[in-house]
A and B are shown apart, each in its own frame.
Chain A
Amino acid sequence: MQNGFEIADSDEEISFIRFYDAGALGIYVKAFPWVFPQFSAKKYAKELQYIHKRILKDGYIDIVYHLFFIDAVKRKKI
């Protein structure tokens, strides 16, 4: 029991997200403005260029996708 909850099920996995071009990765990063507040491809051209070259060589780039799952049930406090 945690905070009055019974953990019915939980799981964790370190998976990945695969990108097949630097444009897709750049667009993905734009979804997290609180991590990269002023993200623009021009500003991060050097980093994107590196990613671009790696993808041309390897075909893709993977980033870590670390996820967990919790199914918790509220139990009356006694």
Chain B
Amino acid sequence: MDYFEQLVHEIDGFSFSGWDFSYITETGRMQEGPVKWNYYSRIRPYLYTAERLLDLGTGGGERLAAFSPLPGETYATEGYKPNVEIAKRNLEPLGVTVVEVDGDEGPPYNSNLPFDDNFFDLITDRHEAYCPQEIYRILKDDAHFITQQVGSLSIANLIQLFDSKTLKFQTGT
């Protein structure tokens, strides 16, 4: 097997557990450029005073677990089935209630969450689609909704790299 064949073999043999990128980040093979804000540092001040937190689209719960100690009542939703069990395993020992939501419903996503009106002191959302009206409904007055979202340019660039027609154009210049 040459080096490239080894890489192909490695890719096809790999399966994700939640959104855990540590396999490629710990060795520095993948490195994110720094941005002007840090999601965790921006949330942290609110974590101290919040009594009831919701993490929308928690993935495998790895990020939320890293926020501990968490508010006394913490909930996490996840719609991607393979992640729900991983999230439970990561978060239930920390006292978090993991709620499975329907990830297959069409847009608007997360528009029917199983929580009461004016329920949360803080809602966090890293890279999960949200419905502003539904966030408004379940958030208490003067409470914060903090989200980091991936813009459309990220996906466009990936599609470009893995679209052979575009590649032909690139290599032909």
Q: Which residues of chain A have a CB within 8 Å of any CB of chain B?
A: 2-5, 8, 11-32, 35-36, 40-42, 44-52, 62-76
Contacts and interface: CB of A to CB of B under 8 A. Distances in A.
8 contacts: A2-B132, A3-B132, A14-B151, A36-B162, A51-B161, A66-B151, A68-B151, A71-B144
Contact of B32 (A2, A17, A36, A68): A17
Interface in B1-51: 4, 6-12, 14-16, 19, 21, 23-24, 28-37, 39, 42
A70 B33 contact: no
Given A24-B24, A26-B7, A41-B11, A15 B34 contact: yes
Chain A contact residues, majority secondary structure:
mixed
Given A13-B35, A22-B4, 9 more contacts: A19-B29, A23-B6, A23-B10, A27-B14, A50-B167, A64-B156, A67-B154, A71-B42, A73-B142
A42 B132 CA distance: 41
Contacts of B151: 12, 14, 66-68
A29 B162 contact: yes
Contacts of B159: 35
Nearest to A60: B31
B113 to A, nearest CB: 15
Interface of B: 4, 6-12, 14-16, 19, 21, 23-24, 28-37, 39, 42, 132-133, 135-136, 139-159, 161-164, 167, 171
A21 B31 CA distance: 11
B144 A73 contact: yes
B162 A47 contact: yes
Contacts of A32: 155, 158
